[in-house]
Every structure is written in C-alpha cells, then in structure tokens.
C-alpha cells in the first residue's frame, strides 16, 4: 500500500518519540487531532503503529517490506521441490554422466546399499573427472562425490527462502530434501536453483 | 496488510454491486454509515476500493498479491547481474573448461573478433564434449557452443522476474546482459539462476 507524505511523517515522529499521544503528534504537524484521525486509523489498522489506550502510539517496526517478507515466507519446499534422481555408490562416473543427460539434471544423489543418502554428485564434479587422465568407466562415483556428513540438505516444511539462502551460502546448485530414517536420511526430493527461480516467477506473476 | 472480516465483506459487496454508495453498503451490513467510515477509508487508501464523488465505490481488482507483485517488479537486472566471463571463438574446449574452473562459473560467453556476442557455452556442452571421443584440445568452442541468433539475452533495465521466466522457458542456466552495438551485441553482464536465487533471498530477508 502507498502511504501519503503525512502518513510517512507520522511514522517518523512515532518512531523517534514513542509512546506519543495523538494530540502530541497533531501538535508536531500543526494540525488538529480530528484531521489526523483517518491517518492514524489507517496506520494502526495496517499494522505500522500500535495504539495503547491511555499511553499512546508505538511503532511496530512493521513496514510494507516486512509484510512482503511474510508473504514470501509462506512458500515451502514441499510446494516447489522436484523428483530426486539417485544413483548407487558403486556406479561409475561414466554411468553418472549418462544418467545426468538422460534425466536432464545438474546433480545426482548417491545412495548406499540401505538406500540412504551417501553423497551428492554435481556436473562440476563430473567435468573435473572427465578432463582428468583417468578412465571414467573405472572411477566409482563414491570417489568423486561430496560425502556425508558434509552435505547441505533441507526438509519438506522448510521455507523456500531459507533453502535459497542455504544454496548461496554453501555455493551449491542443489540440495536433497530428506526425511530422517534410522541413523541416516532418505532422499524424498530435490531443491535446485531452478526450483527457486520458478518460485520467484510464481511470486511475480500470480494474479 | 491483514484485513478484518468486515473489510473482506465490504470488498465482496462492492465487487458484486459496484457502483454502490457508503449508505447502501451500511444497509447491507446492518450498521450505520459512521461505523463503516474507518473501514472505507482503509480500503480506499490501501487501493482495494476507489471512491468516486456522487457515484459510489468501485472495486479496483487490487489485492495484497498484486501489491506484492508490484514490489517484486521493482527489482531490475542492473542491481543483481554478475560480471560476464568471455572467451574467444578460436579457443579450444579444453581452454574453456580451464577458464570455467578458474573463474568458477557455469557458463561462458563466446565473442567474435569484433568483441560481439557469438555464442554461449555451458558446463553441459563441455561435459558432453568431454565424454566424447574427440581430443578437447582440438575442438574449438565455436563448434560446441549455442550460437547467435538462437541465444536468449536480456537488458540491464529488464525486471528480474522477466529474466527468471526467460531462464525457465528457454531451459538455460544463464543469459548474457547485452547492449546493442552496431549490428550485434556487446556483453555487459551475466544473469544466472544464482543471481535469481540471491534476488529471492534479498526479498525474503530484507528488513
């Protein structure tokens, strides 16, 4: 919502001098209390100010940006995740590249014999191996993957914005979405920068 | 902003019966015109309703989601782009892989002898070449790149959400940010899913 100039001034005054009464705000602005009444109702009902009887107005710290913030934090991983593509620890780097092209994904999750998360394999890991001197058919993925417990992951009820932050902080393109299972993690989904980009588009385009 | 139950009802009534006067809305709700005054001010000032003198209230179609929408469309490429990493058309695929690792980027922009955009090279293009039978030192990047004019690009004043949509639609991880120069494009930046992810984090985290 767009505030007018006087409403912005009122917020400034309350921020600096809270608690402050309506009368005192009116004095500052050289207008009557009656003139201010609609502005103060708007600011209170929209959450910018809080009015406490017999005390005065307080600044809540709420701005249109924090309201935007709340909308964004409603988006959770469960609504935006993709299907995970997994590969066995025993598979070769060559098989992994083929799987990546067939499934058209940028990362694979490596699972152990119990079906639990063992590692993550990125296009970058495979490209590094491919330009090395070894035969891709002879290199098992377990040698070149990022290995547990050094793997960032998320849960289905995490917010999309927290996962976005995790991808940036850890400098990875994707994280597995996991459920705890026994001593390890079962992989139930995949959150990538593509999923974040789709979430961003959905925010900007929805009617 | 959070509307209360009566404000939601008012919006419903106006949506169905516009133009409608404050008196008529009050009758519908079995309250006095005076009781409704603060609600109507809030709804008008926050852009949900429009009041036309001597006619009545209209529904603007504006919701908190369209307001969110507007905030998001304020983000432009110029504020989020990265530095572009370019490579000459004559370079080999091997040189391109090295450049990609040294600069730690997922795509390179290929330029011709005039310094204009000729193509885009992704990690996927290079991985495909690397597992092929050819010697990476013998393959020029011009053979394996995506080539103009089949390249998606953007401008510095485009919105971040339009570029996000472009990345999803074209199924690419990055697009060059360009300026027109003569008959071609000069590359002045890079917009990737990483930049989109950062923009998303900035929206969700800003105070």
- Chain A closest-CA separation from residue B120 CA (Å): 17
Least confident among A29-38, A66-75, A96-105, B147-156: A66-75
- Chain A closest-CA separation from residue B169 CA (Å): 10
Domain segments of chain A as ranges: 5-71, 77-205
φ, ψ dihedrals at A120, nearest 5°? -130, 140
ipTM score over 0.95, yes or no: no
Mean pLDDT for each 10-residue chunk of chain B (207 residues)?
Answer: 82 88 92 87 80 81 66 92 97 97 96 96 95 90 95 97 97 97 96 97 77
Q: What is the pLDDT of residue B61?
A: 67
Q: Is pLDDT of A19 > 60?
A: yes
Q: What is the pLDDT of residue B187?
A: 98
Average pLDDT, stretch A74-99? Answer: 96
B77-205 — its CATH code? 3.10.580.10
Q: What is the pLDDT of residue A66?
A: 64
Helix (H), strand (E) at residue B4: none
CA–CA separation, B69 and A72 (whole Å) = 11
The minimal CB distance from B127 to the residues A72, A97, A196 is found for A97
Q: Which CATH class is domain B5-67?
A: mainly alpha
HEC profile of B147-188: ECCCCCCECCCCEHHHHHHHHHHHCCCEEEEEEEECCEEEEE
* Chain A residue closest in CA terms to B46: A1
Q: What is the pLDDT of residue A206?
A: 61
Q: How far is the CA of B106 from the CAs of A18, A167, B109, B145, in angstroms?
A: 51, 15, 10, 13
End-to-end CA distance of chain B: 16
SS3 content of chain A, % helix, strand, coil (to 5): 45, 25, 30
DSSP secondary structure letter of residue A158: S
Choose which CATH entry (2.130.10.10, 3.40.309.10, 1.10.287.610, 1.10.10.10) describes domain A5-71.
Answer: 1.10.10.10
Taking CA B76 as the corner, what is the angle to CA B164 and CA A159, rounded to the nearest 5 degrees? 55
The minimal CB distance from B201 to the residues A65, A123, A164 is found for A164
Is A197's CB within 8 Å of B1's CB? Answer: no
Q: What is the pLDDT of residue B206?
A: 60
Tell me the CB-side half-sphere exposure of residue A22, using CA atoms within 13 A.
17
Q: What is the pLDDT of residue A63?
A: 59
Is B72's CB within 8 Å of A203's CB? Answer: yes
Is A131's CB within 8 Å of B136's CB? Answer: yes
Give the model confidence (pLDDT) of A149-200 as tens digits.
Answer: 999 999 999 999 999 999 999 999 999 999 999 999 999 999 999 999 999 9
Kindly indicate the confidence band of residue A104, based on its pLDDT and cuts at 50, 70 and 90: very high
Decide: residue B113, CB within 10 A, 0-12 exposed, 13-18 middle, 19+ buried: exposed
Q: Which residues of B touch A101 (CB under 8 A)?
A: 128
Q: Residue A154 has which token pair?
A: 């998320």
Is A161's CB within 8 Å of B73's CB? Answer: no
Candidates A69, A96, A164: best to mutate against B (most CBs of B within 10 A) is A164
Nearest to B127 by CA among A107, A111, A72, A160: A107
Q: What is the pLDDT of residue B16?
A: 86
Residue recorded with tokens 């690009």: B153
CA–CA separation, B174 and B164 (whole Å) = 9
φ, ψ dihedrals at A178, nearest 5°? -125, 155
Across A136-173, b (16+ Cβ under 10 Å) vs e yields beebbbbebbbebeebbbbbeebbbbbbbbbbbeeebb
Q: Is pLDDT of A67 > 90?
A: no
Give the model confidence (pLDDT) of B30-60 as tens digits.
Answer: 999 888 888 888 888 777 888 887 788 887 7
């Amino acid at each position: 919502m767009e505030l007018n100039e006087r409403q912005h001034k009122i917020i400034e005054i309350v921020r600096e001098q809270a608690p402050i009464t309506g009368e005192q705000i009116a004095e500052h602005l050289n207008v009557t209390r009656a003139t201010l009444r609609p502005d103060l109702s708007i600011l209170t009902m929209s959450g910018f100010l809080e009015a406490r009887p017999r005390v005065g107005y307080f600044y809540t710290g709420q701005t249109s940006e924090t309201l935007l913030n709340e909308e964004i934090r409603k988006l959770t991983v469960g609504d935006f995740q993709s299907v995970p593509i997994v590969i066995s620890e025993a598979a070769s780097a060559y098989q992994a590249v083929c799987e990546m092209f067939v499934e058209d994904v940028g990362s694979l999750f490596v699972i152990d014999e119990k079906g639990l998360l063992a590692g993550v394999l990125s296009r970058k890991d495979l490209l590094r191996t491919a330009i090395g001197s070894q035969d891709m058919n002879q290199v098992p993925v377990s040698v070149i993957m990022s290995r547990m417990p050094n793997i960032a992951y998320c849960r289905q009820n995490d917010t999309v914005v927290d996962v976005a932050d995790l991808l940036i902080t850890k400098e990875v393109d994707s994280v597995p979405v996991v459920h705890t299972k026994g001593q390890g993690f079962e992989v139930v989904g995949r959150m990538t920068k593509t999923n974040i980009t789709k979430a961003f588009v959905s925010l900007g385009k929805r009617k």
